[in-house]
Amino acid sequence: MQTIQHFINGKTVTDDQRTQSVFNPATGQPCKNVALAGSATVKAAIESAQAAFPAWRNTPAAKRAQVMYRFKQLLEDNADKICALLTEEHGKVLDDARGELARGIENVEYACGVPELLKGEHSKNVGPAIDSWSEFQPLGVVAGITPFNFPAMVPLWMYPMAIACGNTFVLKPSERDPSSALLIAELLQEAGLPKGVLNVVNGDKEAVDVLLTDPGVKAVSFVGSTPIAEHVYNTANKHGKRVQALGGAKNHAIVLPDADLDNTVNALMGAAYGSCGERCMALSVVVCVGDDLADNLVGRLRDQLKGLKVGPGTDPASEMGPLINQAHLHKVSGFLAQGVEQGAELVVDGRNLVVPGHEAGFFLGGCLFDRVKPEMIIYREEIFGPVLCVMRVDTMEAAMELIDAHEYGNGTCIFTRDGEAARYFSDHIEVGMVGINVPLPVPVSYHSFGGWKRSLFGDLHAYGPDAVRFYTKRKTITQRWPSSGVREGSQYAFPS
């Protein structure tokens, strides 16, 4: 069986002291092994990045952009191969894999504009014969720690812009589905990236701890659950690093009585059950304003769920694939049991789903709860599975209070035909990303992605303009060239 290794200084590096299985979620069987890097291997990756930094830092931004242009083309040329790996190791359907990769490529496109993005400000004659300007310089070696649910897209949120800005990078992808990260790194080197500028180490907590504490790493980007995001933020900050750590979510949709229900139901189905709910932007709570609306909406969702096609991601007929592994299937099933125990109405129970020919796969059908209350565990915690909770309130204000009271503030949306209500909602809701009749308000690559409250630790969001600021440090230079032959006395007052 193939063992996925590491990519350091432009070549495969073997570290077989510890390995673990990589599963095909549709079959429930191991398809590969992955090596788990020890501290020495991670340090070797950091040293490789440090050695490559001086020359890459001094490479003109236009030449760095040319590498990104070639990289974009190679990603498009190899899209089928990359998406097949995503489906094999994550389980998502091929259409979803293609969408993931496309959104990642958008970030490479944005990085192609780095010569413009790195331009600073210049002011002439701020004083007699004195000019002042600012410029943006790279940090050095930066690291990214990425999750299993978007093994291609989330790394592409990080290292294209970091590298285009002149940094070198160490990526620690999820050990659950590592193959696409290795393939994409090889494509970037094929595009002309010098050896050592991008390094990939597979591993678990041992690898992460080195990246968080080693003084050679100047900044860390992370996407994952809130408890781990908080740990990453606190630990890396303690060791003097710049950190952006994106955490969990509990994304709400408010549905007003005037909403177009046909379109709303279709939007909710895709947003709640796409990628088996394993998205940080998945809609997991619907807040209906009024009981009549709730009854109608729940009935429509129940009918739609009866026709949801669940199966292996390689089957073109499948609309939803399996969960990532057996442990996560058990965890999500546990949430369902707790919801029933605490009094929520389980309208659709997906636990008895059997996919013919894939009985050992990690499949769970779409699940729907009604009459969920704020004190219930299924409402308070992020389930990260194909489970949609319906809550009932009397007014839009009550729905907004519910959302604002939750510890997470990643994404939210409202379904309505009322422009005044939509404007009020978007202005006042305490959430970082807002959709108006848009269920998954994920910003495009030239805006930035990030939530509020305990969905983000750090001051700067991911990708877009914030990425340029995160991966660079501003330097301001003030310059004077005195006229020849002019002698000046010392000045002891503060300059003005």
Of 112, 280, 367, 413, which one is the catalytic site residue? 280
Is 389 catalytic? The answer is no
Rounded Cα distance between 370 and 426, Å, is 26
Q: Which of the residues are catalytic?
A: 280
